[in-house]
Chains A and B, each alone.
Chain A
Amino acid sequence: MDLTVEATLESEIVSRKHPRVEDFISTLKVFVKNRIALAGLIIVVIYAIIAILDWVYPAYLGIKSGFDLSDALVTFHMSTYLGKPILYPSPITGSLIPFTIGVSYGVPPYGSGAIITLIPPTLHGPTNTPGWWWIFGSTAYNLPIFPVMLASLKWDLTYTVVIVLIGAAIGTIVGTFAGFYGGATDEAIMRVTDIFFSIPFLVLAMAILYVMGVSINNVLLALIIIWWPIYARLTRGQALSVKANKFVEAATASGSSRIRTMFVHILPNVLAPVFVQISLDLGTVIALFATLDFLGFHYTSIYLPELGNMITWGDQTRYLFATPMNWWPFLIPALFLVIFTIAVNLLGDGLRDVLDPKLRR
């Protein structure tokens, strides 16, 4: 008797499907119907998988863990001084790979005269390296673009997601608070956001970095400082319109305290556009992040594999290394960035449809 009763107790709990699970399934169904958004989602997921793999198990991508381009540069310098063939550590195994292409003389790093011929996009790179490394050709120091680009996604995506999520969390809570409480609180918070909106994002970010000094933490901080007002303004407007609803009054009438009303009844109603905004902002922030690096605000070092940095190298190979003008070193990383931005925007549009509860079932 005892055993059976206990068994049924458990089975009753397990067999009941949680409403949120059911919800999620029906949400997915609606989302899949929108093919363009689905394409966006697939691209974003591929990027995300690459970034996550890079954190968890980089060898899968053929990248050495803790890969930093400064190793490559040091070898480059040494080898030019000694007049030996150029060696640099493979991003895959860490072992040194000899390069036979290009002649080097003069004094690096920015000395004149170092001439390197970059490898164009090809299916077959130099011998004893995998062919797929070279499908996008090579960039400064004759590094293969493709594996370095994959390695750079790790930094770009991680920092972008951290910036946007923290900014959104701060902005949403502050904005909902302002909209719900109204009055002087609202005015004060909104005037502060106005200050942020009055200065272009990039200029403001550069100013903040200039004052605080360039480091990866400061870049995070600067971009979060810039990003929360967007969410604050968005949610404040939403909260104002949600607050006027009868169900807020009904919640108060059933004894819900003010702070509980704000978090339980108003916040979920405000969230839908926030999710859309987050998905749209991922694209903007990754571009901004790359732009700052492109403009010379190198976060950790000049050797960080990062998309913006890669574009810089691609652009500057011809000055620094006296190579002839090539299209691939900067165009391919830039395209890689643009594809992500577009995919994220498509995803955002799809999310907008899904998050409307009336379309869900």
Chain B
Amino acid sequence: MVEAELSKSEQHDELAKEIQENNVVVKNLKTYFFTSKGIVRAIENLSLSIRRGEVYGLVGESGSGKSVTATSIIDLIPDPPGRVLDGDVYINGFNIYSDLDKLVKVKIKSPTNVKVKHYKTSLRRHNKVLSSIRGKWVSMIFQEPFLSMNPVLTIGFQLTEPILLHNLTDLISSLVRLETFSKKNALKVAEAILGEPDYQKRSNIVDQFILDYSLYSVKKYIKQTAENISDPEQMATEFVDIAQTAKLGLKVEKYARMRDYFRLSDRVDDLQLKLVSIEGEIKRIRRRIQELSASSPAGSDELRKMRNYLDTRTSQSEKETLQIKEEIKRAKEQMRRVYPALYFKRILSKRVRDKNIRMAAEKRAIEFLELVNIPAPEAIMNSYPHELSGGMLQRSMIAMALSSSPKVLIADEPTTALDVTTQAQILNLINRVIDKRRGQSVLFITHDLAVIAEMCDRVGVMYGGNLVEEAPLEKLFKNAKHPYTIGLMNSIPRHDVKVDKAARLESIPGSVPNLIDPPTGCRFHPRCKFRMDICSEKKPALVEIEPEHKVACFLYSDEVEESVELEE
């Protein structure tokens, strides 16, 4: 008994460690589409993880389930007809599908007669929870920039949207920082400016100062002051004057209360996520027990273990839940005390109408536009999507995705719709803009191996809804193992290898299988050069053959040798 608990907790610890180390962990993901022609098994038991500060590439032919994987990670699968049926996706430690089993009931009478029943209230709650995660922790860049921008709203509006939705606390506290601006700080800044002989560096310090204390509207005066005055004491006095004037304009006290309010509201959001994940965990254990007891009514060993685990976990979680609920209640009370008007207003609508906050958000958006090399960002802010070129739009799309500083950026073929020169620019831009040191990571989806070679640290190769090979970039290109990966590599035209002019470029024969009725066993076997008997019977598991190099193929598996021996 003790052993069982130990193994369970060990397992738990291992998972917890993996979740902590990675930005995204996908476990046994299963996404189906219930169409009138039958069930499309788009993704079957897919597991992957994206580390902190890493660019993870997903490559494969079209129809291999790359985009479905990406959209499953933030549950953007169009529903109906699609649904994530099973699996866990941990983003920044939170399992977004923790309340999944409540959401859907699938009745299958025949392959073509499938009914999916939704529980509306749970679905609403699920969407509410997810809308606080989407954009904040994960954001997405889409394939066609022209289609993924709203044609009737200005770029500025669309850029400020994620900032105003997710970064209100940051924004307001940057407004409030003026309050803490004292003579001492000013003196420090003034000395730093005067101590720097290099003009460029000096202006950088001034810019940083303006940015830190959000003194955008008096930018000109600060620059003038910094150029004309040589006495730090005098300059500091001027700075304090400027700051105080700006403070008057902003009514800082109001914003300080607002900042406190939004800090509390963020806290409530976090607590609610915790609550959801605790509920989800218990539910999962219950479901597992149900499954086990259905399969073996007599009661197996595992069932007993699970029941025990459930008991201990339930008593724990009850305590936790009560605590969290109490804390939420307290935080809400505090919120009401800190800013009653805002509290009651936000019950009706989440929008905060405030000119200064809006302007601060716009400034921030303009900074991001500058970051992605857009000339004259102020003009771009007021223009509509159809007035910009594809490359410019994709840049502003990237700015939009980054503006709420997410942990993970999902780039779903961001360069496919652009011409080649723009493609290179965009790729360089993504590489430059990602803050790897802060642990920002990218899931990069493409069908182009050249792009993969340019961008990624680690690569997963997908085929027919499965991950067939996963390796660090260099290992994959030097030493591809899976026949499908080898086929993909061979179908790239190369300039460094001399070939007969008569010889044709090699390609993989056949096409991607119809996933309504996928091939048995390994899904690649009908097109595989090296296929064996076992390939059509059994599905190969993703096995680590070298450190960090995983392949799902019987060519590299021990099972084959055993079975071959058996046959002999």
A residues in contact (CB < 8 Å) with B: 1-2, 4-6, 8-9, 12, 19, 22, 245-247, 249-258, 260, 264-265, 268-269, 357-358, 361
Contacts and interface: CB of A to CB of B under 8 A. Distances in A.
Contacts of B166: 255
Nearest to B124: A258
B133 interface: yes
B141 to A, nearest CB: 9
19 contacts: A1-B241, A6-B248, A9-B218, A9-B246, A9-B249, A246-B144, A251-B161, A252-B131, A253-B135, A256-B131, A256-B161, A258-B131, A264-B153, A264-B161, A265-B153, A268-B150, A268-B153, A357-B151, A358-B151
A1 B386 CA distance: 44
Closest 3 CB pairs of A and B: A255-B135, A254-B135, A246-B147
Contacts of B217: 8-9, 12
Contact of A255 (B132, B220, B384, B386): B132
B156 interface: yes
A79 to B, nearest CB: 62
A189 to B, nearest CB: 16
Contacts of A260: 350
A22 B138 CA distance: 35
Contacts of B241: 1-2
B266 to A, nearest CB: 13
Contact of B134 (A245, A255, A361): A255
Contacts of B134: 252-255
Given A8-B218, A9-B218, 15 more contacts: A1-B238, A8-B220, A253-B76, A253-B135, A254-B139, A255-B133, A256-B161, A257-B131, A264-B161, A268-B153, A269-B150, A357-B386, A358-B151, A358-B386, A361-B387
B165 A254 contact: yes
Contacts of A252: 76, 131, 134
Contact of B162 (A9, A254, A257, A269): A254
B128 interface: yes
Interface of B: 74, 76, 124, 127-128, 131-136, 138-140, 142, 144, 147-154, 156, 161-162, 165-166, 217-218, 220-221, 238, 241-242, 244-246, 248-249, 350, 382, 384, 386-387, 400-401, 404
B245 A2 contact: yes
Interface centre among A8, A12, A257, A258, by most chain B C-beta atoms within 10 angstroms, is A257
A4 B246 CA distance: 12
Nearest to B351: A260
Contacts of B244: 2
Contact of A257 (B128, B221, B404): B128
A253 B152 contact: no
Contacts of A254: 134-135, 139-140, 161-162, 165, 400-401, 404
B135 A269 contact: no
A178 to B, nearest CB: 16
B150 A5 contact: no
A245 B166 CA distance: 24
A19 B154 contact: yes
Contacts of A5: 218, 221, 242, 245-246
